[in-house]
Amino acid sequence: MEPKKGLLLVSNYENSISTHKSKSLQVPENLNETSITPLKTDYVKDSCLGRYIYIHHLPSRFNEELLENCESITRGTEHNMCPYLVNYALGHDVENSQGILLNKSWYSTNQFLLEVIFHYRIKKYNCLTNDSSLASAIYVPFYAGLDVSRYLWGVKTSVRDQSASDLVKWLVEKPEWKKMLGRDHFLVAGRIAWDFRRKTNNESDWGSKLRFLPESNNMSMLAIESSSWNNDYAIPYPTCFHPSKDSEVFQWQDRMRRQKRPYLFSFAGAPRPDLQESVRGKIIEECLASKNLCKLLECDYGVNGAINCDNPVNVMRLFQNSVYCLQPRGDSYTRRSIFDSILAGCIPVFFHPGTAYAQYKWHLPKNYSKYSVYIPVRDVKDWKAGINETLLGIPQDRVLAMREEVIKLIPRIYMQTQV
């Protein structure tokens, strides 16, 4: 079985650090390998060698206090984040799935809590060390996304940047920083990388300047969406699927293979009339005009102000019944729906390379045609789509092969429940 996502991204990050370090190794050209006599030494091989991680013990205001004051991190959003923090930030169990989900494997997980989920999980990593000199990577458990989410809307840039500035001042005083000036440090963010790359001090500009601080430039960031900078890495959004055993994953995969799919394609989302280049309006038009071929789940406010698409039962019911799931850009290039569709065994249809292909290089195959369909429409001016005709023209044997590739990806995109 594939490694679990929480461990996989740590392994990939360590490999990138190791590659960076190895470039400075110089081996004499005239070295004769046969002249080297192995030392006869009895020792136990250290299975963690090259895999050790050291965790900085940050002041609590950079992480724990944000959770204790969870009401403050709801500002500018429609959600009260506090209920999502239970069960190690996986959220409450989905109790009544109406037969759509497997019992005890699904939670109401918020898509922006990756940094908190990761922090809980890394504490269980079997190669942690209290000796930073042994570490291949240094983890900085700053909840950057939760911190900046309090100040994204209508707040001065100086306030947005305060925590980031305080963090780097704290880090540079530590001996671990002086070793590589932060190049072996990484943090995990539950928001997109662009939320931390504000270029100017104009109050109207979005986000904080965390990643443009000189010290932070040396660190790596693992985020739900990367930027064009080479030390930002994209990892999948947290989904609502958190099985506790491998057998639950196998059971779910088998179920998705047998699933009847009455709709050719579907879309879960809302139009973006304020984003002039968005193709979502056109997609919704085509879906509605396709009658029995397409099913639409509008992500609007339902009973008691709940958003329909926040309920995993609604989303998975739609995607399980669909051969293809349309994945246009969201408010940014990416969206959690990509990974919801994979969990449902629904073949994703992308319209822009930045939505997945240029993002999740550790988790998705390089040959994107094996698991997805690409309709190149970067913005609404390019729209010539004809989604029906494109998808109906794909041979059935290729459809079955793509679906199997999608189902095989499921073990790479979920996180287990906390043990």
Instruction: Give, in order, the Cα–Cα distances in Å from 207 to each of 150, 160, 238, 341, 413.
Output: 11, 7, 22, 29, 27
Q: In this structure, how many other beta carbons lie within 10 angstroms of the beta carbon of residue 261?
A: 20
Give the chain's residues under pLDDT 50: 1-3, 7, 18-39, 304-305
Residue 244's pLDDT is what?
Answer: 93
CATH of 247-412, one of 1.10.1740, 3.40.50, 1.10.10, 3.30.70: 3.40.50
Residue 57's pLDDT is what?
Answer: 98
- DSSP assignment of 233-266, as one string? EE-PPP-SB--SSHHHHHHHHHHHHH----EEEE
pLDDT tens, residue by residue, 284-336:
989 999 889 999 998 875 554 456 788 999 999 999 999 999 999 878 899 99
User: Cβ neighbours of residue 108 under 8 Å, at least 6 residues apart?
Assistant: 83, 84, 91, 92, 93, 94, 240, 310, 311, 312
Distance from C-alpha of 269 to C-alpha of 300, rounded to nearest angstrom = 8
Of the candidates 349, 356, 347, the residue with the CA atom closest to the CA atom of residue 396: 347
User: What pTM was estimated for this model as a whole?
Assistant: 0.87
Q: Which helix (H) or strand (E) holds 139?
A: strand 137-139
Q: Are 102 and 248 in contact (CB under 8 A)?
A: yes
For residue 209, the number of C-alpha atoms closer than 13 Å in the C-beta half-sphere is 19
Residue 80's pLDDT is what?
Answer: 81
In 3-state terms the chain splits into helix, strand, coil percentages (rounded to 5) of: 40, 10, 45
Q: Are 339 and 319 in contact (CB under 8 A)?
A: no
The encoded tokens of residue 124 equal 């269980």
Residue 104's pLDDT is what?
Answer: 86
Burial of residue 369 (CB within 10 Å: 0-12, 13-18, 19+) is exposed
CATH 3.40.50 in the chain is located at 247-412
Of the candidates 323, 343, 325, 299, the residue with the CA atom closest to the CA atom of residue 101: 343
The encoded tokens of residue 139 equal 């983890």
Residue 64's pLDDT is what?
Answer: 97
Q: In this structure, how many other beta carbons lie within 10 angstroms of the beta carbon of residue 15?
A: 14
Residue 25's pLDDT is what?
Answer: 32
Residue 31's pLDDT is what?
Answer: 34
Residue 274's pLDDT is what?
Answer: 62
Residue 26's pLDDT is what?
Answer: 36
Q: Give me the helix-helix angle, 114-122 and 5-22, nearest 10°.
A: 80
SS3 166: helix
Residue 233's pLDDT is what?
Answer: 97
